[in-house]
């Protein structure tokens, strides 16, 4: 099988796997102890978590604390629900469902418009009394980079907090400043089941899961193995960031050339991470295409919403019709994708599409 869906998840880095194995061992004297226990084994595990926290923080701005969560979705919910207040929550129209639907569930969602190129610019006004602004740094479906520095500045001018979903940017580019930043391990070649919320020093949140508050704002025993894997993945991402970007650029150039004929690009050509390609073709039957390309792993949009049958709210927000959105596909490559894999996978997709 050829894997071209790296925005949905990434394979586990060998370094992350090695870091995890030590803490999965049940042999006597190993590190399976509860990291919150005061005895020797607990302190060993706790020290590993402290070390991983520093590794994860190494890819984030200074002046904040990393709080581990079960996922980026949980981190986002902790930020949005824990920030308190009754004012509107302004979110870009292309936010991940974790932000988009949480703001709706809280009953105070205000949508910020996004241009056809996938950019959410700061020329638009915020509602009076806005308490929270949420703009992701890199979109998970179309890869466009948002002006988060400017949105952070605008939020401060309105005495509002700024939350940045950095799930797709973390480990791939510099993460810009915010009051709160949500990240996930499995998007940077770490394990699933572990995320984090970075919180600016001086900002207090209301816990949403009570019962021990082992992570300050979050209750529950941490998995030393998952945290260690996250830390190792972050350390490798920091070391390899330039090399990973160069590799992604080469694959982008080749994929872009292969999809040049009869395919339209969704989102801006340049102001994006060149790690994925979201393209559409008139009349394309995506369900049939995926059935005919069962050995090539690609996507029709966000993995979190792919089973809902709903048209992508991201593609509709940039002006695509339902028909255009439903004839779009996303392919994404990463650190371990070879040029041969990309070419073989894309060729199979193109052959199947041309046969429709």
Catalytic residues: 304
Distance of CA 179 to the CA centre of its chain: 17
Neighbouring CB atoms inside 10 A of 239's CB total 11
Tokens describing residue 165: 């979903």
C-alpha torsion sign, points 163, 164, 167, 171: negative
What is the side-by-side order of every strand in the sheet holding 109-112? 64-69, 195-200, 180-184, 161-165, 132-134, 89-92, 109-112
What is the side-by-side order of every strand in the sheet holding 264-265? 264-265, 276-280, 328-332
Instruction: Give the SS3 label for residue 234.
Output: helix
Q: Is 246 exposed, middle or buried (0-12, 13-18, 19+ CB in 10 A)?
A: exposed
Residue where the block lists tokens 């939350």: 163
**Strand 195-200 relative to strand 276-280, pairing:** unpaired
Q: Give rounded-to-5 percent helix, strand, coil for the chain.
A: 35, 15, 50
* C-alpha–C-alpha distance, residues 331 and 275, integer Å: 9
* C-alpha–C-alpha distance, residues 215 and 63, integer Å: 18
Tokens describing residue 203: 């900002």
- The span from the first CA to the last CA of the chain, in angstroms, equals 22
Distance of CA 283 to the CA centre of its chain: 30
DSSP calls for 178-200? -SEEEEEGGGTT--SS-EEEEEE
Residue where the block lists tokens 């650190």: 335
């Amino acid at each position: 099988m050829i894997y071209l869906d790296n925005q949905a998840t990434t394979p586990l880095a060998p370094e992350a796997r090695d870091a995890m194995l030590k803490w999965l061992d049940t042999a006597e004297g190993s590190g399976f102890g509860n990291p919150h226990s005061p005895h020797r084994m607990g302190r060993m595990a706790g020290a590993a978590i402290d070390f991983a926290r520093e590794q994860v923080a190494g890819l984030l701005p200074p002046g904040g604390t990393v709080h581990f969560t079960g996922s980026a979705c949980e981190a986002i919910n902790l930020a949005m629900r824990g920030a308190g207040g009754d004012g509107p929550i302004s979110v870009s129209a292309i936010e991940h469902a974790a932000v988009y639907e949480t703001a709706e569930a809280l009953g105070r969602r205000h949508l910020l418009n996004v241009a056809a190129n996938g950019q959410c610019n700061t020329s638009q006004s915020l509602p009076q009394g806005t308490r929270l602004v949420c703009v992701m740094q890199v979109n998970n479906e179309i890869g466009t980079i948002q002006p988060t520095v400017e949105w952070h500045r605008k939020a401060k001018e309105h005495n509002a907090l700024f939350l940045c979903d950095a799930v797709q940017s973390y480990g791939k580019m510099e993460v810009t400043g915010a009051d709160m930043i949500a990240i996930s391990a499995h998007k940077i070649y770490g394990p699933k089941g572990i995320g984090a919320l970075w919180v600016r020093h001086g900002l207090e949140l209301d816990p949403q899961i009570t019962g021990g508050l082992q992570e300050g704002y979050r209750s529950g025993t941490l998995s030393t193995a998952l945290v260690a894997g996250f830390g190792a993945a972050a350390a490798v991402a920091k070391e390899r960031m330039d090399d990973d970007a160069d590799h992604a650029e080469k694959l982008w150039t080749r994929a872009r050339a292969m999809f040049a004929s009869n395919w339209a690009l969704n989102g801006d050509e340049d102001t994006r991470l060149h790690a994925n390609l979201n393209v559409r073709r008139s009349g394309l039957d995506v369900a049939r295409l995926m059935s005919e390309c069962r050995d090539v792993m690609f996507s029709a949009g966000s993995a979190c919403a792919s089973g809902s049958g709903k048209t992508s709210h991201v593609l509709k927000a940039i002006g695509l019709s339902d028909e255009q959105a439903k004839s779009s596909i996303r392919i994404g490559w990463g650190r371990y994708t070879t040029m041969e894999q990309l070419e073989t996978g894309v060729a199979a997709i193109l052959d199947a599409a041309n046969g429709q």
